[in-house]
Amino acid sequence: MRTRNTGSKQIILLPLQLASAVYYGHLDHGEQVWIATSVGLFIVDPETETVDWYRNDPDNPASLPENSVRHLYKDREGNVWLATYGGGVARAMVKNEVFKTFQHSPKNANSVVAGLLFGICEDKNGSLWIASEDNGISQYILQERRFITHLYNPNNPHTPCADYYRALFCDS
């Protein structure tokens, strides 16, 4: 990574790998920039001028579960959650270079929703909501450490209005 100063702003020249497809970026309180891309997760530290690139390693279950990271979200406890394109959802613990992965299991009704995940947000009670492209929405109840999947049911007005989501927003 190289930087260039132009008066009052600093320009960061990132690696070419980032040009493939950037889906989402986030500036954390430590001034790092987290970038979700089709080729993995990049964490840019402008202070040290370093870029860490996290990718899936099929031989390491603690690695990023899927290279295509579509969304990231930092919860109120400081955990960063990653929604992947087919690999489930992961909680990043980058200080240890470990990712705790949650994937769908047809045998477990309390697992995360299946499919291509696109969005994450947190409600006022601390539950995380995870959007899937075609399988509804999962709610992760942190206190109980379990997922509940919410699907559209035309006979129940208290269900989501669809099963197809590309983004979520939790308001107050």
pLDDT digit string (tens) for 100-141? 999 999 999 899 998 889 899 999 999 999 999 989 999 999
Q: Which fold, 21-150?
A: Methylamine Dehydrogenase; Chain H (2.130.10)
In contact, 99 and 62? CB cutoff 8 Å: yes
Domains of the chain, residue spans = 21-150
Mean model confidence pLDDT for the chain: 84
- Dump pLDDT digits (tens) for 18-67: 556 777 777 666 678 888 888 899 888 878 878 888 999 999 999 999 99
- Per DSSP, the three-state class of 158 is coil
User: Which residue carries 């995380």 as its tokens?
Assistant: 128
pTM of the model: 0.83
Query: Does the pLDDT of residue 156 top 90, yes or no?
Result: yes
CA 117, 118, 124 angle in degrees (round to 5)?
A: 100
